Amino acid sequence: ALAACSKEQTVSFDKGAAIGFDTFVENSTRSVNDPSYTNDKMFADFAVFGYVEGAVLFDGVQVSKSITNNELKSGWKYEGTQYWIAGAQYNFNAVAPMTNGGWEVVKKNGETVVTNATQTTISFTNNGTTDLLYATAAQEGLASDNAVVGFNFRHVLSKVKFSFKNEYNASNATIRVENVKINDAYASGVATL
């Protein structure tokens, strides 16, 4: 005999159980405070790499800005929502921007190169106009009320600063510096996050 259940079962997760992300850019690493790169308007997206107890959870998943996303408790969203496991240790790496960032994940035999099951290696080319940013975070999963993963983004590329001192004491003299160039600078590199 066959029997059917007429009731529908709905499985729901605590909203605090969904893994969410939030960001902050460390402006002290910038040589110029660009008003277009404030914490409210930093970049459109970033890639996240995540590991739980050494296993890959996120492998370069695109995280993008959303006006409202109540499920993840922040304005950032991604496809394929992942959930916290109580008591598990998580490690995350992020690279921004994901779109047109001039970087790619280093792969060996088609697989992402991961060091110590918590680090991701990327290669990048400096185009002279894109700020390449990275962030890392570690967090333990809770049974409920998990905080979003807070990424404090820093710059992968080193800042170069030029200072010019005018020791000419004439008040009516103007000195203009033009065409400052850096020769033989590295155009590409590899970073382990």
Given the structure tokens 């992942």, which residue do they identify? Answer: 82
User: In the predicted model, is pLDDT for residue 85 greater than 90?
Assistant: yes
Question: What's the pLDDT at 69?
Answer: 44
> Can you tell me the distance from the alpha carbon of 154 to that of 133, in angstroms, rounded to the nearest whole number?
5
User: In the predicted model, is pLDDT for residue 177 greater than 80?
Assistant: yes
> Can you tell me the distance from the alpha carbon of 156 to that of 178, in angstroms, rounded to the nearest whole number?
27
The rounded mean pLDDT for the chain is 76
Per-residue pLDDT tens over the stretch 43-70: 788 999 999 987 889 988 999 886 544 4
> Can you tell me the distance from the alpha carbon of 76 to that of 151, in angstroms, rounded to the nearest whole number?
12
Neighbours of 114 (CB within 10 A): 20
User: In the predicted model, is pLDDT for residue 92 greater than 90?
Assistant: yes
Segment 113-131 shows an average pLDDT of: 77
Extended beta strands in 32-177, E state: 45-52, 55-65, 76-77, 89-96, 103-105, 107-108, 111-112, 114-115, 119-125, 133-140, 149-155
> Can you tell me the distance from the alpha carbon of 62 to that of 99, in angstroms, rounded to the nearest whole number?
9
Distances in Å between the alpha carbon of 37 and those of 48, 131, 188? 20, 10, 23
User: In the predicted model, is pLDDT for residue 20 greater than 70?
Assistant: yes
Closest CA to 98 of 128, 60, 52, 144: 60
